[in-house]
Copies of this chain bind each other. A is one copy, B any other.
Amino acid sequence: MDFPQPLDGAITPRFAGPVTFMRLPQIEDATQVDIGLLGVPFDLGTTNRSGPRHGPREIRNVSSIIRRAHPVTRVEPCRLARVADVGDTPTNPADLMQSLRMIEDRVAEIRATGAWTLALGGDHLISLPILRGIHRARPDLGPIGMVHFDAHSDTNDTYFGGARFTHGTPFRRAIEEGLLDPARIVQIGIRGSLFDATDMHWARDQGVRIITIEEFQDLGIDATMAEARRVVGDRPCYLTFDVDCLDPAFAPGTGTPEIGGLMPREAQRMIRALRGLPIIGADVVEVAPPFDVGNATALIAATMMFEILCLMAEARVTEP
């Protein structure tokens, strides 16, 4: 088996070698890849504290600390599939709308080869052009399901007197555009003060299943994830992990921290509970290095990337 392999930290010290995800080879030609780790350095959707444009670099930087095998499942994802770092999408830091098109185009290009993408964000608005790109390459899939870890529902309508494309609105747009099936969306970890008491009414009216942090605390990990699996079912789905689902003590490097969030060990177990789902695309978003502390948030993001990569590699193998 000669799939691309990450450098081994017991041979090449972790502080040396290339700054790609897990020090995997960088391969821009998606035809040689099953799962492409794709940087999306974009944060023009951010309404307050920007910074996720720097996320892909810093997540890659710390990812040399990840070793090749999963500690619980013992899965070695780079032995199951051809995994590589496919570099960054183009973006234009001076033009939000053009950037959305650039991201969509690159995703569509990759997905057209049959490769899947696991994106390193970027703010949460990037999920929209990624979903558009998937849909463009695979319209046959129709609206797909989604497991969504976040403090915020991100289904607001507009900001600042009419802005329809911000990191608070991607999933409203995605539902409106038929990219996602709201009845197969589950949102986990939602919390924080509200713009007004009717926030999230629209999402609930569409059928989105919102599991607040309070409900999670009452249910526990197992029941929460059983509910999540019930919602998304067993057809292809997307996984989006906003690091602000975590408590800001763990993930301070993010733009809209809300106290009282998940612990990483809870999040790890929740992601592992998705094993076996046909997760055909995913992203980890809202890592804002200028607000990070000692790269803690980037380290969590890199580890969660690896957790998700393990799921996707297994799903890829069992794909019909």
Contacts and interface: CB of A to CB of B under 8 A. Distances in A.
A200 B87 CA distance: 33
A214 B72 contact: yes
A48 B15 contact: yes
A54 B65 contact: no
Interface residues of A, number: 95
- Copy number in this complex? 6
A127 interface: no
Nearest to A193: B67
Nearest to A158: B10
A16 B94 contact: no
Contact of A265 (B13, B17, B44, B217): B217
A111 interface: no
B197 A74 contact: yes
A6 B88 CA distance: 16
B26 A160 contact: no
B194 A161 contact: no
A17 B290 contact: no
Contacts of A9: 47-48, 195
B259 A163 contact: no
A63 to B, nearest CB: 10
A117 interface: no
Interface in A284-320: 290-291, 293-294, 296, 299-300, 303, 306
Given A74-B197, A88-B17, A294-B291, A10 B50 contact: no
A46 to B, nearest CB: 7
Given A17-B88, A48-B65, A72-B214, A260 B264 contact: yes
Interface in A71-121: 71-72, 74, 76, 87-88, 90-96
Contacts of A1: none
Interface of A: 8-19, 26, 39, 41, 43-51, 53-54, 56-57, 60-61, 65-72, 74, 76, 87-88, 90-96, 156, 159-161, 163, 165-166, 168, 190-197, 199, 212-214, 217, 247-250, 252, 256-261, 263-265, 268-269, 290-291, 293-294, 296, 299-300, 303, 306
Given A10-B168, A18-B87, 4 more contacts: A16-B39, A71-B212, A249-B249, A261-B265
6 contacts: A9-B48, A12-B90, A48-B65, A67-B192, A67-B195, A259-B299
